[in-house]
């Protein structure tokens, strides 16, 4: 009862604050992500669903030891090396789809439209990791990994395959795509006012000018495409939080993981509610409200990435063997460190809500990644606890959480 | 730069405030147990001399019986010799349950548990190994192709009847070689561990009597907890009962091909964990310094909750519940899974008492992670 009173009081305070400071018109967001015009839905994000599924197949295929490098690269590009149509996926729908992963990696308007040199470096990082998996790790499938030698290691009941420096490359690719593809497209492209309003898009939205043959305005559709990078494979795409964390191996997965941590409970609702309200604001032509919601999403999604980066580095500290000479006992730590490596890589695609910049620049991210691999000659085999702590501290310092909160 | 400095200063001040708060809290609420006067060396000595080493001696004895029975069967491939081999397998498998939790020292270096008892065995991979005659049993990925579960398959599941199994061994030299290699590997692994204890590791183990993360007590208590949580609670009961999946997985029971010994193996494991907690000698003759006496010692200082009694009471409830299970866990999961789940719940209650209450009382940090497994 006391708690209820407290909640009510806090609610009152919040309401009174927003009434005082924000005289913008009241916008009612629907209970679910359901928006209709003339009795049919205006929501579509098939392209995002396809790219998430392509990324799932690519990451899984990196552990299919019979697959060729060419085929994996075709999965990344959805075309052959010479640019012809390719059918690399098991899912025929994906082969037929016009989308591909590569063209949307490091491809947001805000960060990369005028920064194609960095964009092409980032795109090439993925091709490098994919190639290294086939050229360095696959030949050592039946070798026990040791410092400087790629191969397999036990991690509980699982087997991990690492390169010479201890990186689980399929995990590096998965967790880096989460930033370079999903977060970048969402935070720095589709939720960007410059993209949403480009050309006549605001005027077209004001006038409800629909795209040719579609039931949505371009602005509505862009917002939905941002939504699709988080909920594109959700069981119930209109009400996705009932299965948050279970619907993909990328942003959905880790938004769920962070939401399950008592220190961050509610973050999944905050993100979903902001998407809903922002979309309702577009219909109500309340662009300030829309942009406020974009800020909330940028803040929370960036935080998810940062929390997981710290969490993995901290868990890896616990998982590193007491006896650092016991080379058979590194499997769990390497899996965690490789996931952490990908999340650190993804920090470059985060977005500070009141800025046009990420929380960490490419140079800062590169320096953290190098320090992970440069405590000794053999990369992660030599990583020191102090290095993991110092990277964790520098990440948490730019956010409103502590290393302890993220690490638990 | 100025802004950065300010953040640093603010963080520093905040940390100081938090430290003051934390210190203030702990002074008022709970006495620290960092420098308790419990004699850890006496407990380590009891563990090594009266429990661990005798249990390994018993295990290697049973393993040498298994090697002999295997050699006899390969020499003379009769149904009688197959039956002797099966019974030697079971005796060694039961003896294994008393050493599995001690994954420290050489056992840890060799990943003894993973190469001895990962189940379910992979029938497909085992048959492929037999057919090709080429395999590398030292690879982590071959863990489910060796050890007791692989023997379970070869001796009970590789053909429809005892006669047909015997006939297969009789006609397939590759199968005899495979049987021989996995039994010999069990033997060499177990001997390596026992010899290490005898050749100096015992003294090293006892000498590390401090309370740091790398001390023997902290490490072995973590190994014990890991075993209880993962191998006993989850591996033998929770996973087959479907606690971690959408549906029960009856083919994940221990000794799936033999079927009617799952409970025997489980009870051996449960009793071994209870005996270790109470410092019961392996030969049953007496009790020495133990986790139980350590907790009682601490409790006599703090006058707090009697954690050791709570744990032992919960062990008793678990034993009572487990007694109601039938020998065959496969059919129990298929037909009577409620009882498996109830057993799991009893095991789970002690997971909390051990991992939270006991670890806190002993001031030991958990040194393994609950990996998310993706």
Residues in B 88-117 with any Cβ partner in A closer than 8 A: 108-109, 111, 114
Residues A48 and A225 sit within 8 Å (Cβ to Cβ): yes
Tell me the sheet residues that pair with A41: A36
Q: What is the pLDDT of residues B313-358, one digit of tens each?
A: 999 999 999 999 999 999 999 999 999 999 999 999 999 999 999 9
Least CB–CB distance from A328: residue in B111, B214, B369: B111
Q: What is the pLDDT of residues B201-221, one digit of tens each?
A: 999 999 999 999 899 999 999
The pLDDT of residue A194: 96
Give the SS3 label for residue A283: helix
Least CB–CB distance from A332: residue in B138, B230, B369: B369
The pLDDT of residue A26: 84
Selection from B120, B114, B108 nearest residue B139 by Cα: B114
Min CA distance, A307 vs chain B (Å)? 15
C-alpha B349/C-alpha B362 separation (Å) is 19
Summary mean pLDDT of chain B: 91
The mean pLDDT of A328-347, rounded to a whole number, is 97
Percentage above 70 pLDDT, chain A = 94
Contacts 24+ apart (CB under 8 A), A131-140: A131/A69, A131/A73, A132/A163, A132/A169, A133/A62, A133/A72, A133/A163, A133/A169, A133/A170, A134/A67, A134/A68, A134/A69, A134/A72, A135/A69, A136/A163, A136/A164, A137/A161, A137/A162, A137/A163, A137/A169, A138/A65
The pLDDT of residue A216: 98
Min CA distance, A107 vs chain B (Å)? 28
Q: How many CB atoms lie within 10 A of CB A159?
A: 17
> Where does the pLDDT of residue A11 fall: very low under 50, low under 70, confident under 90, or very high at 90 and above?
very low
Q: What is the pLDDT of residues A217-258, one digit of tens each?
A: 999 999 999 999 999 999 999 999 999 999 999 999 999 999
The pLDDT of residue B370: 73
How large is the angle between the packed helices A169-177 and A331-346, nearest 10 degrees?
30
The pLDDT of residue B262: 98
Min CA distance, B167 vs chain A (Å)? 33
The mean pLDDT of B129-142, rounded to a whole number, is 97
The mean pLDDT of A73-95, rounded to a whole number, is 95
The pLDDT of residue A25: 66
Between CA B331 and CA B337, with CA B335 as vertex, the angle to 5 degrees is 95
Going from the C-alpha of A54 to that of each of A127, A187, A251, the distances in angstroms are 15, 20, 14
Residues B168 and B126 sit within 8 Å (Cβ to Cβ): no
Counting Cα atoms < 13 Å in the Cβ hemisphere of A251 gives 39
The pLDDT of residue B371: 58
Q: What is the pLDDT of residues A64-82, one digit of tens each?
A: 999 999 999 999 999 999 9
Q: Is B301 a residue whose pLDDT tops 80?
A: no
Asked if B11 is an interface residue toward chain A (Cβ–Cβ < 8 A), one would say: yes
C-alpha B268/C-alpha A64 separation (Å) is 40
Q: Is B8 a residue whose pLDDT tops 80?
A: no
Instruction: Provide the terminal-to-terminal Cα distance of chain A, rounded to the nearest Å.
Output: 30
Q: Is B1 a residue whose pLDDT tops 60?
A: no
Q: Which residue has the tokens 């992970």?
A: A372
C-alpha A295/C-alpha A352 separation (Å) is 8
Size of interface A-B (CB pairs under 8 A): 55
Residue A132 belongs to what H/E stretch? helix A116-132
The pLDDT of residue B246: 86
Hey, what's the torsion of the CAs at A233, A235, A236, A242, to 10 degrees? -110
C-alpha B52/C-alpha A75 separation (Å) is 53
Q: Which residue has the tokens 């060796």?
A: B146
C-alpha B220/C-alpha A95 separation (Å) is 53
**Are A332 and B371 in contact (CB < 8 Å)?**
yes
Q: Is B13 a residue whose pLDDT tops 90?
A: no
Asked if B374 is an interface residue toward chain A (Cβ–Cβ < 8 A), one would say: yes
Tell me the sheet residues that pair with A36: A41
Give the SS3 label for residue A146: strand
Q: Which residue has the tokens 């005659």?
A: B133
And the tokens for A274? 């902001």
The pLDDT of residue B19: 41
The pLDDT of residue B4: 45
Tell me the sheet residues that pair with A153: A160
> Where does the pLDDT of residue A12 fall: very low under 50, low under 70, confident under 90, or very high at 90 and above?
very low
Which residues in chain A are closer than 8 Å to B109, comparing Cβ atoms? 323, 326, 328
> Where does the pLDDT of residue B5 fall: very low under 50, low under 70, confident under 90, or very high at 90 and above?
very low
Bond preceding residue B120 cis, omega within 30 of 0: yes
Q: What is the pLDDT of residues A157-211, one digit of tens each?
A: 899 999 999 999 999 999 999 999 999 999 999 999 999 999 999 999 999 999 9
C-alpha B118/C-alpha B151 separation (Å) is 12
Q: Is A20 exposed, middle or buried (0-12, 13-18, 19+ CB in 10 A)?
A: exposed
Which residues in chain A are closer than 8 Å to B219, comparing Cβ atoms? 322
The pLDDT of residue B21: 39
């Amino acid at each position: 009862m006391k708690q209820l009173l407290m909640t009510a009081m806090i609610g009152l305070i919040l309401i009174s604050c927003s009434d005082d400071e924000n005289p913008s018109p009241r916008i009612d967001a629907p209970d679910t992500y359901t928006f209709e015009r003339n009795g049919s839905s205006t929501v579509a994000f098939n392209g995002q669903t396809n790219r998430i599924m392509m990324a799932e197949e690519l990451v899984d295929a990196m552990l299919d030891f019979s697959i060729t490098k060419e085929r994996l690269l075709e999965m990344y590009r959805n075309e052959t090396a010479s640019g012809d149509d390719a059918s690399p996926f098991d899912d025929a729908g994906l082969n037929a789809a016009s989308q591909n992963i590569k063209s949307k990696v490091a491809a947001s308007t805000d960060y990369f439209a005028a920064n194609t040199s960095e964009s092409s470096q980032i795109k090439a990082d993925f091709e490098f990791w994919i190639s290294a998996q086939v050229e360095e790790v696959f030949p050592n499938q039946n070798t026990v990994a040791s410092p400087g030698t790629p191969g397999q290691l036990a991690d509980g009941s699982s087997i991990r395959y690492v390169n010479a420096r201890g990186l689980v490359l399929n995990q590096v690719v998965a967790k880096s795509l989460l930033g370079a593809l999903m977060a970048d497209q969402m935070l720095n492209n589709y939720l960007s006012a410059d993209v949403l309003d480009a050309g006549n898009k605001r005027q077209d939205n004001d006038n409800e000018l629909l795209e040719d043959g579609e039931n949505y305005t371009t602005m509505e559709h862009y917002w939905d495409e941002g939504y699709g990078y988080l909920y594109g494979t959700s069981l119930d795409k209109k009400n996705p939080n009932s299965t948050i964390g279970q619907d993909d191996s990328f942003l959905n997965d880790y938004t769920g993981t962070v939401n399950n941590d008592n220190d961050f409970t509610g973050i999944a609702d905050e993100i979903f509610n902001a998407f809903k309200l922002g979309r309702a604001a577009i219909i109500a032509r309340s662009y300030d409200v829309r942009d406020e919601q974009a800020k909330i999403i940028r803040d929370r999604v960036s935080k998810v990435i940062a929390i997981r980066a710290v969490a993995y580095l901290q868990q890896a500290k616990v998982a590193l063997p007491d006896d650092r000479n016991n080379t058979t006992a590194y499997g769990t730590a390497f899996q965690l460190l490789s996931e952490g490596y990908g999340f650190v890589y993804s920090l470059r695609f985060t977005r500070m809500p009141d800025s046009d910049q990420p929380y960490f620049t490419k140079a800062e991210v590169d320096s953290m990644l190098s320090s992970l691999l440069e405590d000794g000659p053999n990369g992660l085999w030599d990583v020191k606890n102090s290095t993991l702590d110092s990277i964790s501290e520098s990440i948490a310092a730019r956010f409103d959480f502590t290393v302890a909160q993220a690490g638990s | 730069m100025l802004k950065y400095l300010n953040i640093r200063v603010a963080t520093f001040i905040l940390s100081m405030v938090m430290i003051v708060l934390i210190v203030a809290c702990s002074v008022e609420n709970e006495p620290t147990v960092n420098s308790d006067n419990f004699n850890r060396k006496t407990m380590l000595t009891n563990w090594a001399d009266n429990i661990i080493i005798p249990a390994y001696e018993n295990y290697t004895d049973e393993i040498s019986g298994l090697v002999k029975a295997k050699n006899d069967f390969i020499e003379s491939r009769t149904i009688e010799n197959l039956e002797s081999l099966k019974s030697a397998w079971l005796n060694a498998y039961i003896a294994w349950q008393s050493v599995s939790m001690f994954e420290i020292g050489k056992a840890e270096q060799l990943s003894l548990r993973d190469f001895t008892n990962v189940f379910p065995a992979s029938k497909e991979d085992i048959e492929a190994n037999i057919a090709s005659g080429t395999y590398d049993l030292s690879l982590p990925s071959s863990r489910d192709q060796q050890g007791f579960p692989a023997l379970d398959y070869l001796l009970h599941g590789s053909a429809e009847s005892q006669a047909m199994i015997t006939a297969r061994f009789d006609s397939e030299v590759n199968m005899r070689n495979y049987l021989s290699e996995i039994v010999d590997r069990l033997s060499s692994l177990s001997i390596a561990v026992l010899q290490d204890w005898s050749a100096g590791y015992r003294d090293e183990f006892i000498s590390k009597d401090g309370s740091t993360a790398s001390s023997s007590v902290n490490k072995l208590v973590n190994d014990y907890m890991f075993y209880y949580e993962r191998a006993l609670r989850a591996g033998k009961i929770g996973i087959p009962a479907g606690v971690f999946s959408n549906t029960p997985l009856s083919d994940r029971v221990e000794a799936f091909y033999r079927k009617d010994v799952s409970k025997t193996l489980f009870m051996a494991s449960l009793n071994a964990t209870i005996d270790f907690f109470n410092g019961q000698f392996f030969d049953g003759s007496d009790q020495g310094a133990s986790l139980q006496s350590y907790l009682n010692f601490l409790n006599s200082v703090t006058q707090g909750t009697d954690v050791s009694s709570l744990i032992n009471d919960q062990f008793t409830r678990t034993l009572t519940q487990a007694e109601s299970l039938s020998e065959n866990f496969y059919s129990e999961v298929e037909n009577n899974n409620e009882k498996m789940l109830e057993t799991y719940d009893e095991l789970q209650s002690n997971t909390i008492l051990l991992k939270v209450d006991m670890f806190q009382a002993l001031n030991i940090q958990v040194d393994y992670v609950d990996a998310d497994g993706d």
